[in-house]
Amino acid sequence: MYAFCVKTSRLGPQYRAAALDELDGGSFDVVVIGGGITGVGCALDAASRGLSVALIEQRDLGSGTSSRSSNLIHGGLRYLEQLDFKLVREALRERELLLRSIAPHLVWPVPLIYPIKHRIWERAYVGAGITLYDALAKLGRSTLPRQWHLSKKELTRVFPGIKKDEFVGGIRYYDAGTDDARLVLAIARTAAQTGATILTSARVTGFGRDEAGRINSVEATCLESGKRITVGAGVVINATGVWTDATEMLVGDTDKDVTASKGIHVVVPKSAIDSSVGFITKTKTSVLFLIPQGEFWIIGTTDTPWELDLDHPAASERDIAYVLEQANRVLARQLTTEDIVGVFAGLRPLVIGNAVSTAKLSREHSITEPASGLITIAGGKLTTYRVMAQDTVDRACEAVGVDVPPTKTDQIPLVGATGYSAMNDSREELASRYGVTESEIRRLLHRYGSEATEILDLAASDPILAKQAPSGPYLGAEIRFAVECEAALHLDDVLTRRTRLSIECDDRGTEAAEFVASIMAPLLGWEGAAVARELEHYTKRVAAERDSQTMPDDHTADAARLGAPDIRTLGA
């Protein structure tokens, strides 16, 4: 068993068992509900200020909105049109911190083209906007290159696959890309290393109150064993995203504070689009992104209201057709459904305002106290998770009258960041030492940072761990590391979030499932029946997603997706 006086970033099965025992009957200064980007950010912020912290997540870390984004760390160029300069400047500062010091292994520069159709007024208008964007970035000491105006000839040189007669030129500028699921995971592990206790696969079912009616405990059920626990809390932070209202209903608050907006993305191979840069432009109802991501392109997105099952956002046939249609307005080689290797859908938690369209609702966060002792953080965006966490912990401590030092998370590198730059400079030497290609070293460094050598050492220790999973580049060692260090409990956790096999191959990861399960099984104590259940669940989940993508609209797609069982509910 781990002793919780020893801080660790290794969130394996033993850690989880100890965390479950620690939480049951234990008492913490802060209990965070929700293991998405906001929740883990709050856990890290609070723990780094010296508070005792517990985090409870009903499924897997980042399993909701936080692993289904456009994978961009950006200032929000389109928010300049809404004159939201504060939000843009704040986001650009956070972008630079992530690139430079907090997570340089998980966040990287991405060149983007904003196309121009009108030579004079549009170039002047867009150019002025991006000039302001760059200026705000420089206030945050940005190290990214400034904008560059492109003629039509220059545009077609950097983006040969573009429709040449559609545009008269463009403006190249930079934002940043990430792997959102791995960013969430790194923050959670850093929070644990700082002293937070992290418990996944446990659903909050209620709250306890003291004689004055103030919330002073959280009741939860472990979805792996069915064990019920009660955790004492000085203050509770509700960071459940689109589940915000459902969580607040447990304290009798029936007001609707958050609405869900669905965004879907399709994934196509790198070879499907002839370009060395990404692409962004506005559509009638959303924004079109073509984002390079390793050997693939992520293309999205939509922005439509979602009022169905929050656990199962589903991409419909209409959604996919819309994204392809928008992309094909730009691309000379027309994409079809045959090009698609993956599809994913996520829900944005938008703070309700007076706007009619979800595309106009606030991406800024709001912090409320729906009941004494319960602080809710809602809204916001991936890029500004650290600011959201700081504001929330400040408010929570103020609510209970606790003095804490200012946040210092802007000075805390995430797990894998320390030593990353030196390793990145030594890729050739590492490749020679481990007998792998330099591109493989680069891939591992972008996923694990300075922990990449731990993966390589594991691979060198066992031929099975040195093997690649079918249909993908991921090593058996990465699967083992996911279980022993990254809190993976189920096949879906590994195939969908620790790796991206579920969206990076035509079979959606089903071919790799047995290989992955064979490595996970001895580490998690799965016997034959448990392995069969994991494989069956994953196969049904993939089938349900494929079915939903052939349904015309959200209602039919949602019904199709619900054909897949929730393995954590089964486990309870």
pLDDT per residue as tens digits for the range 296-326: 999 999 999 999 999 889 999 999 999 999 9
Per-domain boundaries in the chain: 13-65+182-257+362-411, 84-97+106-175, 265-351, 462-567
> Which residues lie across from 55 on neighbouring strands?
32, 198
The C-alpha atoms of residue 144 and residue 175 are separated, in whole angstroms, by 8
Q: Which CATH class for the 462-567 domain?
A: mainly alpha
- Strand pairing report for 169-178 and 72-73: antiparallel
Question: For the segment 402-416, what is each residue's pLDDT rounded down to a tens digit?
Answer: 999 999 999 999 999
> Which pLDDT belongs to residue 568?
83
CB 335 within 8 A of CB 327: yes
CB 410 within 8 A of CB 97: yes
In this prediction the pTM is: 0.95
Contacts of 123 (CB under 8 A, 6+ apart): 116, 149, 169, 171
Percent with pLDDT over 70 in the chain: 95
Q: How far is CA 108 from CA 73, 139, 422, in A?
A: 9, 19, 16
Average pLDDT over residues 375-396: 94
> Which pLDDT belongs to residue 354?
44
SS3 297: strand
Question: For the segment 430-445, what is each residue's pLDDT rounded down to a tens digit?
Answer: 999 999 999 999 999 9
Confidence grade of residue 361 (pLDDT, cut at 50, 70, 90):
very low
> Which pLDDT belongs to residue 1?
35
> Which pLDDT belongs to residue 163?
95
Contacts of 201 (CB under 8 A, 6+ apart): 57, 58, 59, 60, 222, 223, 224, 489, 568, 571
Average pLDDT over residues 235-264: 95
Q: Residue 82 pLDDT > 80, yes or no?
A: no
Q: Residue 536 pLDDT > 90, yes or no?
A: yes
Neighbours of 546 (CB within 10 A): 13
Average pLDDT over residues 1-7: 52
The C-alpha atoms of residue 305 and residue 543 are separated, in whole angstroms, by 25
Q: Residue 2 pLDDT > 50, yes or no?
A: no
> Which pLDDT belongs to residue 118?
82
Question: For the segment 455-488, what is each residue's pLDDT rounded down to a tens digit?
Answer: 999 999 999 999 999 988 999 999 999 999 999 9
CB 166 within 8 A of CB 117: yes
Confidence grade of residue 356 (pLDDT, cut at 50, 70, 90):
very low
Nearest Cα to Cα of residue 175 among 76, 264, 86, 258: 76
Least confident stretch, 55-69, 253-267, 358-372, 426-440: 358-372
Confidence grade of residue 3 (pLDDT, cut at 50, 70, 90):
very low
Alpha carbon distance, N-terminus to C-terminus of the chain: 23
Q: Residue 21 pLDDT > 70, yes or no?
A: yes
Q: Residue 363 pLDDT > 60, yes or no?
A: no
Between 396 and 6, name the one with better pLDDT: 396
Average pLDDT over residues 103-114: 96
Q: Which CATH class for the 13-65+182-257+362-411 domain?
A: alpha beta
> What tokens does 81 get?
């049109």
The C-alpha atoms of residue 13 and residue 2 are separated, in whole angstroms, by 10
Backbone Cα Rg of the chain = 23
Query: The CATH number of 265-351 is which of 3.90.550.10, 2.40.50.140, 3.90.180.10, 3.30.9.10?
Result: 3.30.9.10
> Which pLDDT belongs to residue 304?
92
Torsion, Cα 191 189 505 446, to 10 degrees, reads: 100
> Which pLDDT belongs to residue 188?
98
Nearest Cα to Cα of residue 344 among 290, 301, 288: 301
> Which pLDDT belongs to residue 353?
58
Q: How far is CA 436 from CA 383, 433, 495, in A?
A: 34, 8, 23
Q: Which residue's entry shows tokens 């965006």?
A: 381
The C-alpha atoms of residue 375 and residue 238 are separated, in whole angstroms, by 6
Q: How far is CA 297 from CA 153, 353, 386, in A?
A: 24, 33, 27
The C-alpha atoms of residue 256 and residue 403 are separated, in whole angstroms, by 32
Q: Residue 268 pLDDT > 80, yes or no?
A: yes
Between 83 and 184, name the one with better pLDDT: 184
Between 139 and 215, name the one with better pLDDT: 215
> Which pLDDT belongs to residue 83?
66
> Which pLDDT belongs to residue 146?
84
Q: Quick one: residue 560, left, alpha or beta (phi over 0 = left, psi -120 to 50 = alpha)?
A: alpha
Between 14 and 357, name the one with better pLDDT: 14
Question: Alpha carbon 572 to chain centroid distance?
Answer: 26
> Which pLDDT belongs to residue 106?
98
The C-alpha atoms of residue 187 and residue 198 are separated, in whole angstroms, by 11
Confidence grade of residue 238 (pLDDT, cut at 50, 70, 90):
very high
Average pLDDT over residues 156-166: 95
Confidence grade of residue 124 (pLDDT, cut at 50, 70, 90):
confident
Confidence grade of residue 571 (pLDDT, cut at 50, 70, 90):
low
> What tokens does 323 get?
């994204």
> Which pLDDT belongs to residue 48?
97
Q: Residue 343 pLDDT > 60, yes or no?
A: yes
Residue-averaged pLDDT of the chain:
92
Average pLDDT over residues 151-161: 95
Q: Residue 175 pLDDT > 80, yes or no?
A: yes
Q: Which residue's entry shows tokens 């096999």?
A: 501
Contacts of 376 (CB under 8 A, 6+ apart): 237, 238, 244, 247, 248, 257, 367, 368, 369, 370
Tally the C-alpha atoms within 13 A of residue 273's C-alpha that lie toward its C-beta.
31
What residue type is 341 in one-letter code? V
